[in-house]
Structure 1
Amino acid sequence: MQWPAFKWSADDKYVARLNPGQSISVYELPRMNLLDKTSIKIDGVVDFDWAPASPKRDGVKEYEQLFCYWTPEIGSNPAKVGLMSIPQKRFVSDAKLHWQSDAAYICVKVDRHSKSKKSQATTLEIFRVKEKGVPVEVVDTIKDTVINFAWEPKGDRFAIISTTEPVGVTAVAPKTAVSFFCPEKAKKGQQVGNFKHLRTLDKKNSNAIYWSPRGRFVVIATIANTQSSDLDFFDLDFEGEKPESDKDLTANLQAMNTADHYGVTDVEWDPSGRFVASWASAWKHSMENGYHIYDFKGEALREEPLEKFKQFAWRPRPATLLTKEEQKLVRKNLREYSRVFEQEDADRGASADLAVVEARRRMLEEWHSWRESMEADVLEEREVLGLPKDPHAPLLEAYTKSLDTASDEDRVIEEIVEEVIEESEEVLA
């Protein structure tokens, strides 16, 4: 239990206590009534504190007291710092903390409400943890509400999903935009260049981001939506021609494929980054339960509908048995290994072709053998019936005799003779 158990607001009109991991209870003084007769539910809350003075925010005329709170990272949900107004119980601002997998960066996503409370803007502040003095870079101020953020594992690029529509439980999923950010090429004296906007894809229904554990490839998905169930596969290191506008950036974005899995509720990459599984869990709905498996390019490899299917899990990938020196040697000789593997693939293909040819030759020999046996049976039957061995022989013999007995009158002989009648010679002067 934390001490002090109760914390006072700046004007002593409220006192509050923490219910660790669950909620914050705010009481009105002097009667000690629980505000609105309910505690403020905040899952995972660890601590909170009142503002030390009564705030006077620009554009806010009503009375208020403010307190801030924070929650740690829970599962896939990032750590969060929030600011709440009392007695309205309104979230004034929200900051979520997103760590990069190698702890090279931490992004603080700050959501701020407008004066009218009808719109919300988001600011991304990135702390470069491994650089001297931990410099902070404000990447962009986004006028829309950012509903999802995800770093590239072992990389320095990230993707966000934003929307201009209200966020919450609605009959129709909001239209969203997917944006990609990456650093510029490092200049002299820089470890990593400044973060820049790469591309935005509008008019989507996407609400989830799934990076490959090896980086580079990402799936932008529409989860738990009965009207849309797209899985968009992207490559951020496309080896084709790079647009002129992206020449100074460390990414080349290319859409590879779009798959559709109706009712999809979950998506997960396998640990190697080569395959992606999506499934519709019976724990969330009962429509078309089952799973799909795709390769990293988005090509469907398997579709398995299963009644009451609930969960899918990849087998964990074991740690490598090679030392760092052996891994370096493998990378150094990767082209040589590739040639060997390509030759083995070619040999397998040739052996497969040879097997097909042999099978066809065997079938042809079997047919010839069958035909010879049939001809022998027919010949035997003709001998028993007293018929000639060759049924065509009498016909050929009769035809030949008819040609021999034909008279000379029936024949026309034509002879052409050339003869010189007169020959003369002239001399021209």
Structure 2
Amino acid sequence: MASQLSQQFAFRAQKSLGLVGGTPNYDPLDSFQGPDVPARTYQYSPDGRLFAYAVPTGVRIYQAEGAQLLQELSLPNVVEISFSPRGTYISTWERPVKLEDGAQNKNLRVFSASTGEELIAFTQKSQEGWELQYTISESHAIRLVGQEIQVFRPAEWSSGVVDKLKVEGATSIALSPGLNPSVAVFVAEKKGQPASIKIYSLSALTGAPTSQKTFFKADRAQIKWNTLGTHVMVLTQTEVDQANKSYYGETGGLYLLSAAGNFDCRVTLDKDGPVHDFAWSPNSKEFVVIYGFMPAKAMLFDHRAKTLHDFGSAFCNFVSFNPQGRLVAMAGFGNLAGKVDIYDRRTLNKVTSIDAANTSHCEWSPDGRFLLTATLSPRLRVDNGIKVWHCTGPLVHFQPIDELYQTSWRPIPVDTVPAFPQNMPPCPPPAPSVLQHVDLAKPVPANRPAYRPPGARGLEASAAYKRDEGTPSGQSTPNGRYSRSPAPGRPTNGKRHVPGAPTSPSPVRNGDTEKRGRKRKGAKDKEGGKKEGAAAGQEPVRPSIDIQVNGQEIPASPVNDSVPPTPGVDAGLDPIAKKVRNLNKKLKAIEELKEKAKKGERLEATQLKKIESEAEIRKELSGLGISS
């Protein structure tokens, strides 16, 4: 049946739940009828055969291919559901409540997916890490209870715990995939004792660990096994960053261990900052790490932590291989712009860049040809929806959905989908939904050049930005004579040019200019300059200045000193005239205050003091020979 599975994805929103077919039309599955009430969660089985969702009254299990209802579990208050690897068992979790006798209810239950029979139940207080972990063959299942690892045989649930191991201080566990499963156990740092990661063989759980490593700065850990279950990566973090460089704690280190115990090391990262993300390749022989302060570095390592390729620095914090391991997506989500770069692992060249702004969820399709991105609530409550992109960049499907909470591809075993071709597969035509949003379908150029102004490119500015000399706005620069610095890259004839300064040499000072300079120093020179200028019958003229426009020197017209000064400028007043003018201003202000007082308005103390100074001001004016 697995070979007949078709491409499909599901979504859950505040008011809807649906199944949608894949390429080419992305039509909703008509045979599936969503619930009348909001769904709390949904889940596909790892093999893609089954689909289940939880509503306030219970859990419904469907055959994913035809959306046929198989079972309905009358179980209220279910918050989480999870399938075993082959879809044989389904687990549910409810919020813990106390019974009348004070005992905790058994809120973790395991059912047969085919019959709906309850097989076993447990008490599980924490929602984090609530689900059982199964081996790939479903021969064993494990769970962490306090500091004890309990092992069950799903074929014999009634037998209860068949094996167990107590590890002092254990806070999390991870069961490996593969034919020879191992259990990675993380022990957090406590009371000055270092943290540790220990690996046990599931077949000899009570024996000594096959591999272990200790380290500091580790309050919690993220554990990722490779597909074969031969190596495990452990990222340690602290709850509090002592250096105050991050709100989310400090990255302790990234460690690589083999399950057999013949290799372990700390992965060497050559840039300071946190580890944002890391991911194993499906071939289990290499992995990518994104690390360092922004812009972060992306590095490809082999299974011995040796560097294979440096992808460079970019604003990214997410990495994911497609299921075939041929393509790698690196993106910046969260508080970053949402740009997704896709690389070909074979050539290590960038295939394309995608602008997926405001993305909350990103996932490769099972055939490795499409990338699903979604904007989810409550991370962002506007512009919620699903976008499907082809691996070469174009948008092929867009589905806006209000208050979208969850979406994911239907899993399909990689050995049942067509192999990824040697060359990049052609992009199918976009679905009708994309044609309604044409602006979203434009791919981002792989290398967008930096902006350079027209002058730096040896071009003239657009005519739309040139001043029209026939309009009033153009008259502020008569005859177009304004100074402009030469454009970058333009020849300057070997002369050094200072922006804003005239390009011609300073003119030689003549007698007239020297006289004008002396006029500023004293009244005698000023009077003498006037007499000599009048005797000569000439008016002093300012030196001409050459002005550059578009790289050409244009001599400016000489400006006559006889031009009257601008009104309001005090350059032409002598000190006595200035003083008289200021005293008259004060008298005028006093008269205005007197008028206010006559009208009965209340005056401030400073205003009254100003009125009292009237006699002193008039006396000062009389001393200057001005009658008031």
Q: TM-score range by the shorter chain?
A: 0.3 to 0.5
Q: TM-score scaled by structure 2?
A: 0.32
Q: TM-score scaled by structure 1?
A: 0.44
Q: Give the number of the structure with larger relative contact order, counting CA–CA contacts within 8 Å between residues 6 or more apart.
A: 2
